[in-house]
Amino acid sequence: MHVSHPGDALYGHYLTPAQFTARFGAREDDVAAIKAFAQAHGIQVSSVGGAGSLITLKAPAATFAQHLGVAFNRYQRSDGKTFFSADRQPQLPSALAGHVGGIVGLHDAVRFAPLAIRAPTNPAARAAIANDGARRGRPDATQATGHGPNGALSPQDLRRAYAIPEQLGPGKLETLALFEQGGFLSSDIAAYVKQFGLPNVPVKVRNVNGYAGAVNSSGVAGEAALDIDMAIAVNPQLRQIQVYEEGDDPFPVALLASLGAMADDNTAQTVSISYGIDEEFMGDAALAAEGQVLTQMVAQGQGVYVSSGDQGAYGRSGSGLHVEDPGSQPLVTSVGGTTLFTERTGGYGGEEAWNLLGAGLGATGGGISSYWPLPDYQLIAGTDGKPVSIAAANQGSSARRNVPDVAAVASPTTPVAVYSELDGGWITVGGTSVSAPIWASFMSIADQAHQAVGLGRIGFANPFLYEDLQGTASLGTNDVLDGSNGNANLFGGVAGFNAGQGYDNVTGLGSMLPSSLLLDSLLEVHDGSTPPPNQARGVHASTTATTSTVQWTATNTATGYAIVAQDNATGAYTSYAVSRGTRYTLGGLKPNTFYTMYVVALNKGGATVGSPAIVKTAKS
């Protein structure tokens, strides 16, 4: 993961799909052997993806039973639902021995796996814990209520609460990809955009494995609408949203084929996935195959953000401790869920872990992987200087991947508004299906700023996110200290995990703190390939009541500049942007207030702060 570690000489030196395939892709003789076997036995090659490592084959069940030495039977789950599955482990034909690493898709125990939760619309149910903030020591904050239909959060509410800027740099450079297990109604997206006065971000459908794009499930169509809506809500300046649809096959097959297509296309800098099932349901072959294609995506500079799950520490199994895949993959950013509190002005009022298991409204997923070892980015220096797990202080593992990495609003009691015709119109929705696209779209803003000033893609963000750690907390996140993701009374005495100072297996590093995180991504993320730029000189500024126009003299060693306004009274970075020019007007300032205006010269070697200008805005 050298390409993802800021400061590494290889940071940001990403590969193209062709370069990755040539160096790390499947061997040509392996692919040829599988294709030849398929052709000889009437089996359709539906898709080849992930640098040749993922080959989807389709044929009648009897054909696979004959060649893999299995029988397919129907079985009944504990909830009464039935599914088909092979009755034993498959045996590879001799013609494929040594050419196949694993087989996925011999059961459909989990066909669809969206992670959205419908919120209660009954006012009494919504109000039942409305005063929770005051009871928990937040007298000036209440659970967030929005200006959207049914009192749900609107895009403006989300951006105000988290102080998310719409855009930091010029142009529309970012493409965000979504994985969906079925089609959606474009009219649903149009209704959302019209309701909230948002721009019409182009949405392009990419059909996978020959899927025809049918709207085959209200739950899946609603999930797709939610994902698209959240992407536009957080970053209305996206160049395009690409929706990878695979609705014909069971979840593991659909996910792998879609990831392979995303990797080989390499047209999206950021990916969001709001689906997941327990690692045990996926199986080792699928987990390993995912890890392989995610390695390709990391090498190409694609950042993947995934829901951590909606059933707390227990996963879909409902007993014991389980984490959900793909959110537990070490090469994704796993996103948990919170209950959001806002001040009377709509500004950020704090968060706590989302846990409504007792009310049947889910909880943030989180825990310890049973498959993946502890990744390097979850190590910090201990008191003796030796590396220790960042999660150890809060019940986490010192040997296994800890989940999630970060979090954002997801509680059904602080839901977002979504339009879904198949669900009757405006609905209110929670779940980590909300928080994952929020984080993905937010990081697309950071990536946009990076590219606008010549710094390239951010890519896989975890090394950067954990890099900010100072032993206990990340400077770029709001640490979430309250709550848990378990309920021992309901789950046989198994308590789950507790939130706490620093990293925890409930909300990870915490929720986004845009001013610090976005600025850190510009000022701290570099590869050292060239010397840092000289400082910008001659910084001066003029003001109105709410704006400041900053000018400076260019330095020929900079590829761009960050312009930052710091409130002298509070120390807060109130407004910031990036530019390749030498003049920029920052908005969002307070009247009659002193500010220090910084111009930071940037290039891939680092950042250099010039001498600032101190100004006072005019009275209103």
CB 120 within 8 A of CB 412: yes
Choose among 269, 182, 196, 181: nearest CA to 230.
196
The C-alpha atoms of residue 589 and residue 548 are separated, in whole angstroms, by 8
CB 550 within 8 A of CB 541: yes
579 is catalytic: no
Taken in order 253, 257, 263, 268, the sign of the CA dihedral is negative
Q: Which of 274, 433, 474, 511 is catalytic?
A: 433
Which residues is 601 bridged to in the sheet? 561, 608
Cis peptide bond N-terminal to 326, omega within 30:
yes
Dihedral pair phi/psi, residue 617, rounded to 5°: -75, 155
The C-alpha atoms of residue 43 and residue 55 are separated, in whole angstroms, by 12
Taken in order 20, 26, 28, 32, the sign of the CA dihedral is negative
Residues 6+ apart with CB under 8 A from 415: 119, 152, 153, 428, 429, 430, 434
65-103 b/e with 16+ CB inside 10 Å = b?
bebbebeeeeeeeeeeeeeeebeeebeeeeebeebbeeb
Amino acid at site 473: A
198-229 b/e with 16+ CB inside 10 Å = b?
beebebebbbbbebeeebbbebbbbbbbbbbb
SS3 label, residue 469 = strand
Choose among 586, 517, 571, 592: nearest CA to 163.
517
CB 301 within 8 A of CB 269: yes
Q: What is the DSSP string of 153-169?
A: BPHHHHHHHHT--S-SS
Q: Which of 227, 249, 290, 351 is catalytic?
A: 227
CB 293 within 8 A of CB 50: yes
The C-alpha atoms of residue 423 and residue 455 are separated, in whole angstroms, by 43
223 is catalytic: yes
227 is catalytic: yes
- DSSP-derived letter for residue 379 is E
Task: Identify the helix (H) or strand (E) that includes residue 20.
Answer: helix 17-24
- DSSP-derived letter for residue 104 is -
Dihedral pair phi/psi, residue 297, rounded to 5°: -65, -40
Which residues is 320 bridged to in the sheet? none
Residues 6+ apart with CB under 8 A from 422: 185, 215, 218, 221, 222
CB 390 within 8 A of CB 378: yes
Choose among 309, 336, 337, 306: nearest CA to 323.
309
Residues 6+ apart with CB under 8 A from 418: 188, 192, 222, 225, 226, 229, 426, 427, 428, 429
Strands, E, within 144-274: which ranges? Answer: 175-180, 203-207, 240-245, 270-273
| Residues of the binding site for Ca(2+) | 479-480, 502, 504
Catalytically active residues are 223, 227, 433
